[in-house]
Amino acid sequence: MMTRPLIVAELSANHNQNLEIAKKSLIAIKECGANAIKLQTYTPECLTLNCTDECFQINSGTLWDGKTLYELYQEAYMPWEWHNELFALARSLDLIIFSSPFSLKALELLEQLDCPMYKIASFEITDTNLIYEVAKTHKPIIISTGIATEEEIKDALDMCKKAGNSDITLLKCTSSYPAPLQEANLLSMPQLGEKYNVKYGLSDHTQGYLSAIIATTLGANMIEKHFILDKKLGGVDADFSLDKLEFEEMVQAINSTILALGNKEPKIDLKKLTNQRKFARSLFVSKNIKKGEVLSMQNIQSVRPNNGLAPKYLKDIIGKKANTDLKFGKPLQIDDFS
């Protein structure tokens, strides 16, 4: 059977800088059936400058237009002092917890917490120095490819290999928030694995979870989807996040998809197949036949159930003679004619 993808709930900024919301989110994520929770570890200073010049203004048709980069990250970041408590809570719930570090200082914090794997965010794929340091931990590394060119993907993988890390997963990602479904281009996802000889998956920013189901059918090893405890909370990521009910529905749909996909090789249940085959056709006497009478299309017929010779023998037996009297409704057998 096809392997179920690792289902990762991305908390992102949906903690609303409230520790109780963050903790309740972890509990809800576990209840939804997800395998893992992913955090983002940064401060605004990890990402940008506190500058209001034009190039630091967001004005490109996003949900966050009108803010500076610093203002956005100030609103969205998760306080670093929460990490220890959230890592402990997730582990008590038997929930994998990991994070995206956005600086070497963030990586240092996460290493102190024995973070089991790392995610490189889409916009950090060009930061090969950060990728190298993360890869040097020799822990699984997941890289989103949303904005990346082929050269940038290659550069990132080269850094991983230089660090001696080959446990790599590339995630197909459309870096729009939310991402239009027509831009998902999911057929290109398996090509990441084939072209670069790595595991592959989906970091999904589309609304709903159709893309996650399609990705499952395409063999994704990992599916990452934004989670929010309640959309009424609002926040910078609420519009493209799934709430608890939606996330649980997605997990159930993925599980059902895996069941339906089954195996590449047909799985034969002989007992069930025997019962089902009772309703196949076979050859029956459709009119009383005397001994020595010729079998013909007028007295032999292919009908249900499957008690007689296979229909494929019909033309071969036409013209043969009955060895004994054959009654109407008798399933035809090999010794009935010669």
Q: Are residues 173 and 233 in the same domain?
A: yes
Is the peptide bond preceding residue 5 cis, with omega within 30 degrees of 0? no
pLDDT at 62 over 70: no
Whether 65 is in a domain gets the answer no
Residue 201's domain comprises: 6-42+77-261
Q: What is the dihedral of CA 48, 53, 55, 56, to 10 degrees?
A: 30
The one-character DSSP state at 162 is H
Confidence of residue 64 (pLDDT cuts 50, 70, 90): low
Percent of the chain with pLDDT over 70: 98
Q: Are 225 and 249 in contact (CB under 8 A)?
A: no
Percent of the chain with pLDDT over 90: 78
Whether 47 is in a domain gets the answer no
d(CA 195, CA 111): 31
Q: In angstroms, what is the C-alpha Rg of the chain?
A: 31
Q: How far is residue 234 from each of residues 13, 144, 187, 266, 306, measured CA to CA in Å?
A: 10, 25, 32, 47, 62
Q: Are residues 135 and 29 in the same domain?
A: yes
Q: Are residues 202 and 91 in the same domain?
A: yes
Of the given ranges (159-173, 190-204, 221-235), which has the lowest mean pLDDT? 221-235
d(CA 115, CA 97): 7
Domain termination residue (choose one: 261, 280, 306): 261
Q: Are residues 317 and 183 in the same domain?
A: no
pLDDT at 274 over 80: no
Domain CATH number, residue 298: 3.90.1210.10
Q: Give the model confidence (pLDDT) of 91-144 as tens digits.
A: 999 999 999 999 999 999 999 999 999 999 999 999 999 999 999 999 999 999
> What's the pLDDT at 275?
80
Q: Are residues 87 and 153 in the same domain?
A: yes
Q: Are 145 and 122 in contact (CB under 8 A)?
A: yes
Whether 233 is in a domain gets the answer yes
Q: How far is residue 290 from each of residues 202, 287, 302, measured CA to CA in Å?
A: 70, 10, 20
Confidence of residue 80 (pLDDT cuts 50, 70, 90): very high
pLDDT at 268 over 80: no
Q: Are 300 and 283 in contact (CB under 8 A)?
A: yes
| Encoded tokens for 30 | 């576990």
Q: Helix-strand-coil percent breakdown of the chain, rounded to 5?
A: 40, 20, 40
Bridge-based pairing of strands 118-120 and 168-173 is: unpaired
- Helices and strands, number each (H, E), in the chain: 12, 10
H-assigned helices in 17-149:
19-32, 44-47, 69-76, 83-92, 104-112, 128-135
- pTM, two decimals, is 0.85
Q: What is the dihedral of CA 56, 62, 67, 73, to 10 degrees?
A: -80
Q: Are residues 171 and 275 in the same domain?
A: no
Q: Are residues 129 and 210 in the same domain?
A: yes
Higher-pLDDT residue of 64 and 150 is 150
pLDDT at 277 over 70: yes
Q: Are residues 230 and 295 in the same domain?
A: no
> What's the pLDDT at 305?
94
Domain termination residue (choose one: 261, 292, 320): 261
Q: Are residues 277 and 231 in the same domain?
A: no
pLDDT at 63 over 70: no
Q: Taking the mean position of all CA atoms in its chain, how far away is CA 136? A: 28
Strand partners for 39:
99
Whether 61 is in a domain gets the answer no
Computed over every residue of the chain, the mean pLDDT equals 93
pLDDT at 172 over 90: yes
Domain termination residue (choose one: 213, 244, 261): 261
Whether 88 is in a domain gets the answer yes
Counted domains in the chain: 2
Q: Are residues 274 and 143 in the same domain?
A: no
> What's the pLDDT at 233?
85
Q: Are 225 and 250 in contact (CB under 8 A)?
A: yes
Whether 324 is in a domain gets the answer yes
Q: Are residues 297 and 202 in the same domain?
A: no
Q: How far is residue 336 from each of residues 180, 288, 297, 315, 327, measured CA to CA in Å?
A: 68, 13, 16, 15, 11
> What's the pLDDT at 61?
67
Domain CATH number, residue 119: 3.20.20.70
Q: Give the model confidence (pLDDT) of 310-326 as tens digits.
A: 999 999 999 999 999 99
Q: Are residues 288 and 310 in the same domain?
A: yes
Whether 328 is in a domain gets the answer yes
